[in-house]
C-alpha cells in the first residue's frame, strides 16, 4: 500500500469518495474549539476541509499526490487554512507537540515492534490536545482481503488505547455502527473509535514503557 498503490486507486475514478467529512469526526469534534490540526491520511480532503471551514488551521498529509491535488482544488474557498503535504507518516513523523488535534481516520498504520510510527503520531499531540483515532471494525473480516492486505497487520484503536500511558485521559474507546453506510462492496458496518486527551508532556519512563 505504497504511494503508487494509492495513486492508482484514486486515479481509477474521477472521485473515489463522497467528499463529505467522516461521520465520527463530525460527531466527536463539532464542539471542539479550533486550533492546529493534523489530518493523517487526508485523501481527497473531506475531513481537512470540514475542519478548515470551522476555523481550524490544518496540516493534511497523504501518500497520494493525485488525492492531494483533488483536495486542494476542492478547498479553494479555504486556501491558506490548509497545508496539503505529500508524505509518508510511517517514515517521517510529524513535528512533536505541534497540534491541538491529531485525526487518524481509517489510516492503515502498520504495526511495528517498537511502535515508532505510532509514537510519532502520539507525540504530535500538544499537551491539552486531542487524539481521534478511528478504524474499521475488523470482526468477522477475512484474514486476507481481496486487495491482498491483512487487517490484523495494522493498529486498531483499542490497541492504541492500551498503549497510552498516564499522560492521557481516554473519553471514548468503543465500537459503534457507522453513521453512514459504507461504500458499495465494503464489509465495514461498524467503526472502532478512540478519543483521548493528552494531559501533559510524557513523564520519563523505562524503555519498555510509555
53 in any annotated domain: yes
* Predicted local confidence at residue 204, as pLDDT: 45
Strand bridging mode 82-86 / 57-62: parallel
Predicted pLDDT at 207: 43
Q: What is the pLDDT of residue 20?
A: 81
Listed in sequence order, the residues at least 6 apart from 91 whose beta carbon sits closer than 8 Å to its beta carbon are: 117
Q: What's residue 44's pLDDT? A: 86
Cite the beta strand spans of the chain per DSSP E.
36-40, 57-62, 82-86, 99-105, 125-136, 168-177, 190-198
Could you tell me if residue 210 is inside a domain? Answer: no
- The answer to whether residue 75 sits within a structural domain is yes
Per-residue pLDDT of the chain (210 residues), as tens digits, is 666 665 566 666 666 565 689 899 999 998 999 999 999 999 989 999 999 999 999 999 999 889 899 999 988 899 899 999 999 999 999 999 999 999 999 888 888 888 999 999 999 999 999 999 998 887 766 566 555 566 678 899 999 999 998 999 999 999 998 777 666 556 677 889 999 999 976 544 334 333
For residue 130, which phi and psi values (nearest 5 degrees)?
-120, 140
Look up the domain containing 76 and give its range. 3-10+23-198
Q: Tell me the CA distances in angstroms from 56 to 83, 99, 153, 154, 183, one per residue in order.
A: 11, 11, 32, 29, 28
176 falls within a domain: yes
What CATH number is associated with residue 139?
A: 3.40.50.150
206 assigned to some structural domain? no
Domain count, the chain: 1
**Residue 112, CB half-sphere, CA atoms under 13 Å: how many?**
12
Residue 179 counted as domain residue: yes
Q: HSE-up of 119 (CA within 13 Å, CB side)?
A: 11
208, part of any domain: no
Distance between CA atoms of 126 and 139, rounded to whole angstroms?
32
Residue 109 included in any domain: yes
Amino acid at each position: 500500500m505504497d504511494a503508487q498503490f494509492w495513486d492508482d486507486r484514486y486515479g481509477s475514478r474521477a472521485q473515489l469518495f463522497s467528499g463529505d467529512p467522516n461521520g465520527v469526526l463530525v460527531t466527536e469534534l463539532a464542539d471542539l474549539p479550533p486550533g492546529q490540526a493534523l489530518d493523517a491520511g487526508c485523501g481527497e480532503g473531506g475531513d481537512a476541509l470540514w475542519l478548515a471551514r470551522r476555523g481550524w488551521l490544518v496540516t493534511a498529509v497523504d501518500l497520494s499526490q493525485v488525492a492531494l491535488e483533488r483536495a486542494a482544488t476542492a478547498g479553494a474557498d479555504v486556501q491558506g487554512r490548509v497545508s496539503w503535504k505529500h508524505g509518508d507518516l510511517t517514515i517521517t513523523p510529524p513535528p512533536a507537540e505541534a497540534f491541538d488535534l491529531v485525526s487518524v481516520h481509517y489510516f492503515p498504520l502498520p504495526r511495528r515492534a517498537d511502535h515508532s510510527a505510532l509514537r510519532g503520531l502520539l507525540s504530535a499531540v500538544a499537551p491539552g490536545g486531542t487524539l481521534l483515532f478511528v478504524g474499521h471494525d475488523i470482526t468477522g473480516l477475512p484474514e486476507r482481503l481481496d486487495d491482498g492486505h491483512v487487517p490484523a497487520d495494522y493498529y486498531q484503536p483499542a490497541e492504541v488505547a492500551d498503549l497510552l500511558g498516564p499522560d492521557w485521559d481516554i473519553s471514548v474507546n468503543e465500537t459503534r455502527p457507522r453513521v453512514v453506510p459504507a461504500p458499495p462492496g465494503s464489509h465495514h458496518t461498524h467503526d472502532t473509535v478512540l478519543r483521548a486527551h493528552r494531559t501533559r508532556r510524557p513523564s520519563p519512563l523505562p524503555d519498555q514503557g510509555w
